Structures are given as structure tokens and as C-alpha cells.
Amino acid sequence: MAEGAPAPAVLLIGPGRAGRALALGWHAAGVPVPWVVGRREEPARDLARAVGGRALSWEGLLDRGLPGPWPPVVVLAVPDRAVEPAAEALAGRLAAVPPGRRPRYALHLSGALGLGPLASLERLGLAVEVFHPLLPLAGEPLPSGAAGPAGGRPGGPAGGLPATPPGGRPATPPGGPARRDPLAGAYVTVVYAPGQGRAPVGPALARALGATAVPWPGATGRQLALYHAAATLAANGVTALLWAAEELLRHAGYPGVGGPAAGPAGSTGGGCPAGGGPAPSATAAATAPAGAAAAVPSGPAAAAPSGPAGRGDPARPPEGAGARAPLLALAGTALRAVAERGPLAALTGPITRGDAVTVARHLEALEALAPEAGSAGGLDPGPAGRYRLAAALVLAAASRAGAPRSGLDAVARLLGRRGDGPDGTGIGPG
């Protein structure tokens, strides 16, 4: 499509966390989302109402197709493991559709997968792309009072929300002011085949969301694996470190912190054709995070109820929230320093200084903590183990930054990092 052209209409498959965020964002920007397809029709119907579209079950789409021409773009907002089987099933349905009535583009959202899983659709003449938002996509609430064709509410396109005014954003949806798009200001990586015969559609879809597209023609599977690993560290890694820090303040009895640690996120549902719950994410991610976040955080997941663990009262601060504001302020200062000077120049703290006395004091206090009940089935090394893992990474960065070697060696001995670094010195996580 021509550079700068408006984004065309989208058929969304998968009304989960990522699909919901994208559909709401595109709808708010005036990009039509006339069809929402889910494993079950009910979750798809809720989102379709909010964007003025129509809902269809995955089985119904494969059995009956669509009445009339298909929208130009199909977006597979499904978990990573579902992308290829969903694409193959969709290709089977589209093979019976006259070429002039088929979609022109097929996109998936996984930053860890290349274009290969969409090969069956490419063989039918569709241009295929990866559209990976670099931020974590939380569950987006649907606008209150929104109703579409499934609800029988007249007044908008196909009986849904008010039509988009010519040349502008849509009217304020019922129930309140326009939402802030979580993707505004984010980056979206767009992978496509350089010789696909038409310009990629991903950049236009990113612009509509207020995001910046990063075109990456011809990215290989290995390149994408490294890219996705980076996004995972930037989004989920930061999130996990903040959780570990919050847990330590809880153990320390920091004012305003108390109570048991929150359990793991337990969101399920969503409506993806191959039927899994949430898939691991980066924008997370990075996602991502996409968060950085991230974070993406890793393939699109099912919509989650509100609350930090996918459940609970969103108006009540979660346990440990008393520590969150000061920790976020501290982390924010570190991120600003990274933005200004780069990560290696922004390093501070006792490990970077080679202050083995302080690090030894940390370890002594951490190792004195009682073992935590459950210990995540053996997956959680406990407070001291978490500290050692993170400290090894700081040690590696400090070594690359040129910190004094004698101090780093002393810290490495405390951490048990002897001779396993890439240069044989014991500095680095190995």
C-alpha cells in the first residue's frame, strides 16, 4: 500500500489481551474492525460490540466464511503455538474464496516467530507480516455501555458505536471520554518479505495507533529469537526484578509493606482458535513487554480480569503496594540515566564499585531469611538466590564498563562466580 495511506479494515482473530488492545486502539483511530472472531462467539461478541463490528466463532468462520468480500487485513492475535495451525485452517477456508474477495494481508503478533508460520496464506497470494508491539499489553476494559450489532443497538455502523466523523477520530463512546490508547508512543516491529510485491501494511496500522513502526524486511528466525530475548529481558526481566525488590522490602518490614506475596497471574479465556490460555509474552513485550514492554511481554494472551494477578478488586492496592512508589521512583531515575548516558555509564551501586563488604552484608541478611513456603515448586531460588542471579548480571555489566578489576574479583568470589565468565576471569553470568 502507498506510504502514508490510511490503514484498511481489519478482521481480528483472537479477542484476548493483545487483540482487544489493538482492536480498541484501531477503532478509536477510525480504522474499521468489522469482524471479531473467537474460539467461542461470546468473548468475540463483547469486543465486537465495543468496536461496532460483528462477531463470529472460529468454527463458524471455517464452516461458512464471511458474507461478501473479506476485509483487506487479517490479524491473527493468537498464542504463538496457535499461529501456524490457525493460518493453515484459514488458508483452507480462503482457498474456496475467489481471489478478488480474499484478504490482501495476513499478520501475526509474535515477536518470536518469523513469517514461516504464515506460509500457507502466502501461497494463496496474501502478503504476510509480523506486527509485534514492543510493550506488555494488559487487559483493556471495554467502554461502558458499548453495544454493537450483537446487542441490537441502532445508531452506528452496523448498529454499533457512533460512526467515525469524516477525517477525524470517532465520537466519544457512550459511558465516558475517549480512552487513552496504551500503544500510543510505543514501537512496533514490522517484519515482511522484501519481495512480497506490495508495500507492508504494518506501518499504517502502527501509525493509526500513535505508535512508531520499525520496518525489518527479511529478518531471519535467528535474528528474531535474539530480538525477542532482548525484549523479554527489557520487559519481563525488569518486572521480575521489581517484584524481587518489593519482596525484600516486605521481608525488611519497610513502612507500608506487609502481608503475603501475591500469587502468579492466573488469567485464562480469550477466544483463540487453537484453544490455549495465555502464552508467555515479552512486549512485552517488551512487551511486550509492549512494554517495554514489555513486554511484551511474549505471544498474545487471553484477556485478564483487572488486578495485578489477573483477579481481585482493581480499586484496592495489592499487597506490597506501599513499597511500589519508592521503588518505581528509584527505577525511573535509573531509566532516565540510561536514556541520557547509556546502560553501562549509568551503572551505580556496591557491585559496580566493587564494595565486597556491603555485598557480603547483603548476602548474610538474605541467607538468614527463613525458606519461603512452597518455593514455587523448586523454581524459585529464594531471596538470596534471586540476589545472586541479578548480581551476576550487574557484575558482568560493570566489567564491560571498565570498573576496577580488584573490587569486581572480590565481589565475584562472594557470589561464587569463579572462572566461569566468557573470558575465563569469573566475571559474568556465563
Residue 79's pLDDT is: 96
> Per residue in 373-401, pLDDT tens?
556 677 899 999 999 999 999 999 999 99
Q: Is residue 250 part of a domain?
A: no
Q: Is residue 109 part of a domain?
A: yes
Which of 65, 50, 134 lies closest to 303, judged by CA?
Answer: 50
> Per residue in 200-210, pLDDT tens?
999 999 999 99
Cα separation values, 265 from 16, 235, 318, 355, Å: 15, 16, 13, 37
Residue 320's pLDDT is: 52
> Per residue in 122-151, pLDDT tens?
999 999 999 999 998 765 567 654 444 443
The residue from 223, 238, 254 where one domain ends is 223
> How much is the average pLDDT of 312-334?
74
> How much is the average pLDDT of 335-349?
97
What order do you get walking across the sheet with 105-108 strand by strand?
Answer: 54-57, 35-38, 10-13, 73-76, 105-108, 127-133, 187-192, 212-217
- Average per-residue pLDDT for the chain: 79
Residue 358's pLDDT is: 98
Q: Is residue 257 part of a domain?
A: no
DSSP H helices, 210-298, are 221-232, 238-252
The band of 181, judged by pLDDT with boundaries at 50, 70 and 90, is confident
Domains in the chain: how many in total?
A: 2
User: Which residues touch 374 (CB under 8 Å, ≥6 apart)?
Assistant: none
Q: Is residue 334 part of a domain?
A: no
The three cell numbers locating residue 330: 528509584
Question: What's the CA dihedral at 202, 205, 207, 212 to 10 degrees?
Answer: -40
Q: Is residue 324 part of a domain?
A: no
The residue from 188, 223, 258 where one domain ends is 223
Question: Following DSSP, what letter does each residue of 280-296 receive, concatenated?
Answer: PB-BBBBBB---SB---
Show the CA angle centred on residue 378, arms to residues 375 and 384, nearest 5°. 60
pLDDT surpasses 80 at 174: no
Q: Is residue 128 part of a domain?
A: yes
Judge if 212 and 79 occupy the same domain.
yes
pLDDT surpasses 50 at 111: yes
Residue 104 structural domain:
10-223
Which of 275, 202, 173, 152 lies closest to 10, judged by CA?
Answer: 202
Q: Is residue 17 part of a domain?
A: yes
Which of 183, 290, 295, 309 lies closest to 233, judged by CA?
Answer: 295
Q: What is the CATH number of the domain that holds 60?
A: 3.40.50.720
Kindly report the pTM of this predicted structure.
0.75
The residue from 207, 223, 239 where one domain ends is 223
Whether residue 149 contacts residue 315, with contact meaning beta carbons closer than 8 Å, is answered with no
The band of 365, judged by pLDDT with boundaries at 50, 70 and 90, is very high
Q: Is residue 231 part of a domain?
A: no
Residue 323's pLDDT is: 78
The more confidently predicted of residues 6 and 66 is 66
pLDDT surpasses 80 at 185: yes
Which amino acid is present at 383? P
